[in-house]
Amino acid sequence: MIRCVAALLVTLMLGSHAAAQNVVQRGFPAHALRGEIAFGQPPEVQLNGQPARLAPASRIRGTNNLLVMSGALMGKKAVVNYTLDPLGLVQDVWILTDAERARQPWPTKAAEAKAWSFDPVAQVWTRP
């Protein structure tokens, strides 16, 4: 009987932990832009239809917020938020969930990000 109760408690704790992991609220930096990326042979990508390269220390996060290797994404396209390093290389990439893609507006150009207002807590952009 005690083993059954213990097993039930462990199952409930693991189930609630797994459910909590699916509700990850990711915080994107204010300089993150939205775009479409097509992954080619690493480090080559197409960003918004233009050739680009991943930075040597780039990080790609999947919809579950775990790191994904660029080689595993070859031939795939995704809507992403991304940042660029000072040399213009793609530094950070977040593959967006449906809920994150639905957050509009989101800047696609650096000039838009400079002109718009960003609320980092709510992760919402406001146009002037």
Tokens of 38: 């097509």
pLDDT lower than 70: segments of the chain: 1-23
The 3-state DSSP class for residue 109 equals: coil
The 3-state DSSP class for residue 63 equals: coil
pTM: 0.80
The phi-psi region of residue 101 (left if phi > 0; otherwise alpha if psi is between -120 and 50; otherwise beta) is alpha
User: Do 19 and 12 contact (CB within 8 A), yes or no?
Assistant: no
pLDDT for 3 equals 58
- Whole-angstrom distance, CA of residue 47 vs CA of residue 69: 17
> How many structural domains is the chain composed of?
1
Domain that holds residue 47: 2-126
pLDDT for 59 equals 98
Tokens of 53: 């390269």
